[in-house]
Structure 1
Amino acid sequence: MTETSSHALAQRMAELARTVASPRRVEDVLSDVTREVMGLIPGVDAAGVLFVGAQGRFESVAGTSELPHRLDELQMKYRQGPCLEAALDSLIVRTDDFRTEQRWPLYSAAAAELGVLSGLSFKLYTSARTAGALNLFALKPNAFDADAETIGAVFAAHAAAAIMASRENEQLQSALSTRDRIGQAKGIIMERYDVDDVTAFEMLRRLSQDSNTKLVEVAAKVIETRGT
């Protein structure tokens, strides 16, 4: 890796570190990741992220163009491809020419028909229930080398940290919102029926059980009755 590329990598990593320190929406983080990697690794014509969730559910996000989404749709259709392999198994998956690639024959032929000849995918360390990959594509063969693999692997690791930080923040905000709604519902019940907070919560819990409805949904319905 040249001194110039090393300096550029260090600068981008510093920028991404600031992203981790200030959690934002996952969608915004992923868009930053794919945009930054386009400028960081020479030869990239498109980039995107593929998530594979429970029961094999696919989610194609943060594409720099429509091309990554079309390629992910092909992998969903054929249940094979470099992005899927990187997400579930390998750390780095590189393809120098899809026209001669034999590992995923159906996908490779379809990708080549779209004009995509090279690919480079990196596993994203996301969560126990979701696998993910950062995916780069090029319209020419042999577009990626060892330097691209090194830069991309470091970038993917930092990107995964940013993704996890964003998701943890979203989960925290959701938990706080849930707590607030239950608190509001308890207050309404306490005032309406002249009971203490323990009894109010028990009433919510019993309503949740009897109706087989989540506690937060019962709380929301109680809040809707306020003023009636």
Structure 2
Amino acid sequence: MDWQDFAEKMALLARDLLAQESLEATLDRISSAAVELVEGCDEAGILDLRKGAVTTLSARGDHVEQSDCLQGRLGEGPCFDAARDTTRGRVYRIRDLTERDERWPQFQPAAHALGYGSMMGFLLYTRKDDFGALNLYSYRPGAFTAASETAGWLFASHAAVALASARTQEQLEHALDSRHAIGEAIGILRERHGLSESDAFSALSRISQNHNVKLRDVAHRIRIEGMGKDASPRRRQDSPGQG
């Protein structure tokens, strides 16, 4: 392992990840970069685990999603364990999928049948957030060594920081969009019904509560309706003029 070369590539990757235009693009770049940078890695993906359900957030390879589905269905596997790891930082590695491993007796032969020879799983996390598990696959048994684990851990650490930044940016853009939509909806209601700003906002809140719909979604609906002939809510009980 040429650590100087790896360090230089990681520095370039850090900037590349922060330059991605969306969270989805960042996820996909992480998967592709793992194949490019981690020695022995042929395929890679990011698995998310919520309430026992597995979702593939990104995949680079022919069988990554199948592997994720297997781990979710069987409830075992190195990547599945990494995603639910509460200790953080542990590496889950299968050195040779042709040899029996008591940790994952059902998953191991199934993964080997997909064409994998070895694999590793790393939790993607920062101090406050978890982003799922980074999964690295090799077609060859014994492809991942102790050096591979170190490289994978360093890569996963950079990836988690980039994901945290991308998610924060996405949340900020979403919040600004929601604020803009609510402001426009208030303006429409004020113009159409002669309401004060406070009364217009109260009307939006009342519709949101009555129908258990998020305030921003109510605002978006009114914006769309405002482009038509009638910007007011359709149902009598939702009328902004009612208390």
| TM-score, reference length from structure 1 | 0.90
Residue equivalent to 1:223: 223
**Residue 13 of structure 2 is aligned with which of 12, 16, 22?**
16
Partner of 1:94: 93
Indicate if the aligned counterparts of 2:118 and 2:141 stay in contact, CA closer than 8 A. Answer: yes
Instruction: Quote how far apart the aligned CAs of 1:103 are.
Output: 0.9
Equivalent residue, structure 2, for 1:70 = 66
Structure 2 equivalent of residue 144 of structure 1: 144
Residue of structure 2 equivalent to 1:83: 79
Conservation of the 8 A alpha-carbon contact between 1:88 and 1:131: no
> Partner residue of 2:119?
119
Is residue 47–residue 133 contact of structure 2 (8 Å, CA) maintained in 1?
Answer: yes
- Of residues 198-207 and 129-138 in structure 1, the stretch that sits farther from structure 2 once superposed is 129-138
Assess if the C-alpha contact under 8 Å between 1:20 and 1:161 holds in 2: no
What residue in structure 2 maps to residue 200 of structure 1?
200
Matched, 1:44 2:41: yes
Structure 1 unmatched runs, 5+? none
Instruction: Give the alignment's Cα RMSD to 1 decimal.
Output: 2.0
Query: 2:187 aligns to what SS in structure 1?
Result: helix
> What's the offset of the Cα at 1:130?
5.1
Q: CA deviation at 1:192?
A: 1.5
Work out the number of aligned pairs and report it: 224
- Higher percent of residues as helix: 1
Match of 2:57 in 1: 61
Local SS of the residue matching 1:123:
strand
- Corresponding position of 2:26: 29
Q: Which amino acid aligns with 1:218?
A: V
Larger RCO (CA within 8 A; separation ≥ 6): 1
The farther-off stretch of 122-131 and 207-216 is 122-131
Q: What amino acid maps onto 2:66 in structure 1?
A: R
Shift of 1:65: 1.4
**Per-residue displacement from partner, 1:59-107 (whole Å, max 9, x unpaired)?**
1132211211111111011110010111212620111112222210100
Tell me the alpha carbon deviations over residues 140-162 of structure 1, each in whole angstroms, 9 at most, x when there is no partner: 21111111111110110000111
Q: 1:211 to 1:70 in 2, by over 3 A?
A: closer
Do the aligned partners of 1:116 and 1:139 also contact (CA within 8 Å) in 2?
A: yes
State, as a whole percentage, how many aligned pairs show the same letter: 37
> Does the CA contact (< 8 Å) of 2:131 and 2:160 recur in 1?
no
Query: C-alpha separation between the residues in 2 aligned to 1:211 and 1:41?
Result: 50
Q: Tell me which amino acid in the other structure corresponds to 1:6.
A: W
In structure 2, the gaps of 5 or more residues are 230-243
Asked whether the 8 Å contact 2:92–2:120 carries over to 1, the reply is yes
2:141 alignment partner AA: P
* Structure 2 residue aligned with 1:170: 170
